[in-house]
Amino acid sequence: MSLASLLYLSAGTMPSPVANEIQTVKMAQAFSHEVAHFELILSGNLRSLLGLEPDFNQRFRDWYGIITPFAITRIPALTWRTPFPFPPGAYSPRKYLRWAVAYCRRQNPTVVYTRTPYLVQPLLAAGLRVVLEFHEPLTLQAATWFKHRQLLGVVTLAPELRSQYQSLGLDPDQVYIAPSGVDLSPFQIPISPLEARQRLRLPPHQPIALYAGSLYDHKGIPTILAAAAQVPNCQFILVGGQGNEVERVRSQAQQRRLTNLHLIGYQTQGEIPLHLLAADVLLLPTSAQWFLASTTSPLKLFEYMAAQRPIIASNLPNIATVLRDGENGRLIPPDDPTALALAIEDSLANPDRSQAMALQAVQDVQAYSWQRRAEGILAFIEAQLTL
- Provide the CATH number for the domain around residue 69: 3.40.50.2000
Same domain, 221 and 235: yes
Same domain, 169 and 219: no
Same domain, 176 and 239: no
Same domain, 54 and 167: yes
| Type of residue at 361 | A
Same domain, 130 and 72: yes
Q: Check residue 294 and give its pLDDT.
A: 94
Same domain, 165 and 206: no
Q: Check residue 257 and give its pLDDT.
A: 96
Tell me how far apart the alpha carbons of residues 48 and 168 are, in angstroms, rounded to a whole number. 41
First to last CA, the chain: 13
Alpha helices in 218-291 (DSSP H): 221-230, 243-255, 272-277
Q: Check residue 52 and give its pLDDT.
A: 80
- φ, ψ for residue 236 (rounded to 5)? -105, 120
Same domain, 261 and 284: yes
- The structural domain count of the chain equals 2
Q: Check residue 105 and give its pLDDT.
A: 97
Q: Check residue 90 and give its pLDDT.
A: 82
Beta bridge partners of 224: none
Q: Check residue 10 and give its pLDDT.
A: 96
Q: Check residue 80 and give its pLDDT.
A: 65
Range of the domain at 24: 5-181+369-385
Same domain, 117 and 254: no
Same domain, 304 and 192: yes
Neighbours of 347 (CB within 10 A): 26
Q: Check residue 19 and give its pLDDT.
A: 87
Same domain, 32 and 148: yes
Same domain, 160 and 242: no
Same domain, 284 and 167: no
Q: Is 79 exposed, middle or buried (0-12, 13-18, 19+ CB in 10 A)?
A: exposed
Q: Check residue 1 and give its pLDDT.
A: 53
Contacts of 381 (CB under 8 A, 6+ apart): 3, 111, 131, 152, 153
Quote the pTM value.
0.94
Q: What is the full per-residue pLDDT of the chain (387 aa) written as tens digits?
A: 579 999 999 999 999 988 889 999 999 999 999 999 999 999 988 888 778 888 999 999 999 989 899 999 999 887 667 788 888 888 877 889 999 999 999 999 999 999 999 999 999 999 999 999 999 999 999 999 999 999 999 999 999 999 999 999 999 999 999 999 999 999 988 888 999 999 999 999 999 999 999 999 999 999 999 999 999 999 999 999 987 899 999 999 999 999 999 999 999 998 999 999 999 999 999 999 999 999 999 999 999 999 999 999 999 999 999 999 999 999 999 999 999 999 999 999 999 999 999 999 999 999 999 999 999 999 999 999 998
